[in-house]
């Protein structure tokens, strides 16, 4: 199978130049960096600029007065990271797939006199690895330890490790500092976490990392409403692991959001459809899209992963409940489970088309360090290597049960190729004729315009490209809500556009 081409600017991070020195160091300046990571040629290039990282804006929100905070996302393709004026403190979030780049950035800034703080998901599982490249490592809830790190830096008594658990009241966390963001470069800067944690503990999920205890907590709905209003965006994304984990809370949140007349998307579990009335409340509150981790169409795979979910044969009925309420579905599927036969790719794509999912996201099963899945694969001798660069859910890093690693990668690529083919886009079109054109517009912008996305991103035209479609979506969605409120049965009047939830 011919591999799609990826422009160099999306494959390789900017070269860190040796001739750029700290000529003007600003003692109260903090630079927060989201490192570059290579883009999967099979997926959409546009999905990487849907929303900014909430982790860094949350850390920025916890910064005490007297500091200036700047934000730099290398994935916005703006070239070499900032160096003049030179920051006194550099904070870098680290995920295992871009750990190598994070370390290169840390070494570059440290060698020029900056104090470098590393944190993020990878700090929980491999803190010693991060410590080799940092002045301090933040483990766990970085928002809680950030003020202390800055105080210790200022007084000259910085420690190597700072650790905070997640057992404090989530409600007390400061709101993200969104004013440091370049609004033109993202689909929306209104990303939120209304809850933290999840009632599921899937063996492949980072939430099951050894030593990580994150009890499920929620924030008051009125605080979310205030954040949404203050950011002045028509569309928001909830980046919660599962916004529907507490259905009573989700109902209260929807009732609070409803007067805003803004649209939003969120990740929920498929069992939320156990309560059709709640799905209706979501729609009336502006929910126009959900990201659902179906993971697999095999009940045995779901059971062995430790995921609580209804039987897979009932998935399609539940998808239809969302569709009847004008809510689009972006389904997430994982390939490589021990009960995946060789035809799993074709069967999955066929089911997606039959269920008319507006979009889908595929992943190769990836054993993250510290998780039960990683320990299982290590114990069974099935890990191929520990090169974190390839632990990105698009490469096979272990030996599957019923196929070769190369077969797994080829099947993954084939599934994406089929999903984004003209044929599949046509087969998944909405049943209502008036919704077909906007659906095509969004589908083709999301993936079929991959050749154009590097230009849009570099020119900071992401919002300009998406905004007309978002307003079209918003108006169509609330027209559909009028029918829902009147009690009319209009199962085919979906909004017609799909804006995949951030993954």
Alpha carbon distance 205, 222 (integer Å): 30
β-bridge mates for residue 364, sequence order:
335
pLDDT score, position 431:
76
Q: Locate 254 and state its tokens.
A: 């929807």
pLDDT of residue 1: 64
CA angle 49, 146, 243 (to 5 degrees): 50
Strands 195-196 and 217-218: antiparallel
Structure tokens at 327: 């809510």
Rounded Cα distance between 473 and 438, Å, is 8
Q: Phi/psi at 105 (nearest 5 deg)? A: -65, -45
Distance CA 331, CA 327 (A): 13
Question: What is the CATH T-level fold of the domain 8-170, as seen in this structure?
Answer: Rossmann fold (3.40.50)
List the chain domain ranges. Answer: 8-170, 182-486
Please tell me the predicted confidence (pLDDT) of residue 24: 79
Residue the block writes with tokens 């027209």: 479
pLDDT of residue 502: 45
| Pairwise CA distance, residues 62 & 8, whole Å | 36
Secondary structure letter of residue 398 according to DSSP: B
Per-residue confidence (pLDDT) for residue 439, from 0 to 100: 83
d(CA 313, CA 294): 11
Give whole-number Cα distances, 127 to 64, 137, 161, 366, in Å.
Answer: 25, 7, 8, 20
| Per-residue pLDDT at 308 | 83
Cα–chain center distance at 130? 23
Number of continuous H segments (helices) and E segments (strands) in the chain: 18, 14
Residues 182-486, CATH architecture: Alpha-Beta Horseshoe (3.80)
| Size of the chain in residues | 503
Show pLDDT as tens, one digit a residue, over the chain (503 residues): 667 789 999 999 999 999 887 777 899 999 999 999 999 999 999 999 999 999 999 999 999 999 999 999 999 999 999 999 999 999 999 999 999 999 999 999 999 999 999 999 899 889 999 999 999 999 999 999 999 999 999 999 999 999 998 888 888 889 999 999 999 999 999 999 999 887 666 767 766 677 677 778 999 999 999 999 999 999 999 999 999 999 999 999 999 999 999 999 999 999 999 999 999 999 999 999 999 999 999 999 999 888 888 999 999 999 999 999 989 999 999 999 999 999 999 999 999 999 999 999 999 999 999 889 999 999 999 999 999 999 999 999 999 999 999 999 999 999 999 999 999 999 998 877 767 787 899 899 988 899 999 999 999 999 999 999 899 989 989 998 988 888 754 444 444 444 554 44
- The answer to whether 279 and 321 have CB atoms below 8 angstroms apart is yes
Peptide bond into 85 cis (omega under 30): yes
Rounded distance, CA 203 to CA 36, Å?
A: 27
């Amino acid at each position: 199978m011919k591999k799609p081409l990826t422009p160099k600017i999306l494959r390789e991070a900017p070269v860190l130049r040796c001739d750029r020195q700290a000529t003007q160091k600003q003692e109260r300046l903090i630079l927060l960096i989201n490192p570059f990571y290579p883009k999967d040629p099979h997926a959409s290039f546009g999905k990487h600029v849907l929303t900014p990282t909430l982790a860094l804006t949350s850390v920025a929100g916890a910064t005490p007065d007297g500091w200036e905070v700047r934000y730099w996302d290398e994935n916005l393709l703006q070239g070499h990271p900032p160096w003049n004026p030179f920051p006194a403190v550099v904070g870098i979030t680290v995920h295992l797939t871009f750990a190598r780049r994070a370390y290169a950035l840390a070494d570059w800034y440290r060698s020029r006199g900056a104090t470098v703080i590393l944190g993020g998901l990878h700090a929980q599982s491999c803190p010693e690895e991060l410590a080799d490249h940092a002045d301090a490592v933040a483990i766990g809830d970085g928002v809680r330890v950030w003020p202390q790190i800055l105080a210790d830096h200022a007084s000259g008594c910085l420690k190597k490790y700072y650790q905070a658990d997640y057992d404090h009241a989530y409600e007390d966390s400061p709101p993200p500092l969104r004013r440091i963001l370049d609004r033109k470069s993202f689909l929306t800067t209104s990303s939120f976490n209304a809850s933290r944690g999840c009632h599921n503990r899937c063996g492949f999920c980072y939430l099951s990392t050894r030593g990580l205890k994150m009890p499920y907590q929620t924030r008051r709905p009125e605080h979310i409403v205030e954040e949404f209003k203050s950011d002045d965006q028509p569309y928001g994304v909830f980046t919660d692991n599962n916004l529907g984990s507490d259905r009573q809370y989700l109902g209260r949140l929807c009732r609070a959001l409803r007067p805003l007349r803004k649209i939003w998307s969120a990740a929920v579990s498929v069992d939320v459809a156990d309560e059709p009335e709640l799905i209706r409340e979501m729609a009336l509150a502006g929910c126009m899209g959900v990201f659902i981790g179906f993971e697999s169409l095999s009940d045995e795979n779901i059971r062995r992963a430790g995921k609580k979910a209804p039987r897979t044969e009932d998935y399609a009925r539940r998808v239809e409940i969302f569709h009847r309420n004008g809510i689009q579905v972006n389904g997430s599927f994982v390939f490589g489970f021990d009960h995946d036969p060789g035809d799993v790719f074709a069967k999955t794509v066929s089911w997606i088309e039959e269920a008319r999912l507006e979009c889908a996201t595929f992943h190769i099963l990836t054993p993250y360090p510290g998780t039960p899945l990683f320990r299982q694969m290590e114990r069974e001798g099935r890990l191929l290597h520990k090169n974190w660069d390839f632990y990105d859910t698009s490469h096979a890093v272990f030996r599957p049960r019923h196929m070769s690693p190369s077969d797994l990668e080829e099947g993954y690529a084939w599934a994406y190729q089929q999903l984004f083919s003209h044929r599949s886009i046509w087969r998944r079109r909405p049943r209502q004729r008036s919704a077909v054109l906007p659906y095509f517009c969004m589908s083709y912008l999301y993936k079929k315009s991959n050749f154009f996305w590097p230009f849009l991103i570099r020119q900071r035209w992401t919002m300009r490209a998406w905004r007309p479609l978002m307003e079209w979506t918003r108006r169509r969605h609330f027209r559909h809500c009028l029918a829902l409120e009147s009690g009319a049965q209009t199962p085919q009047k979906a909004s017609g556009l799909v804006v995949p939830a951030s993954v």
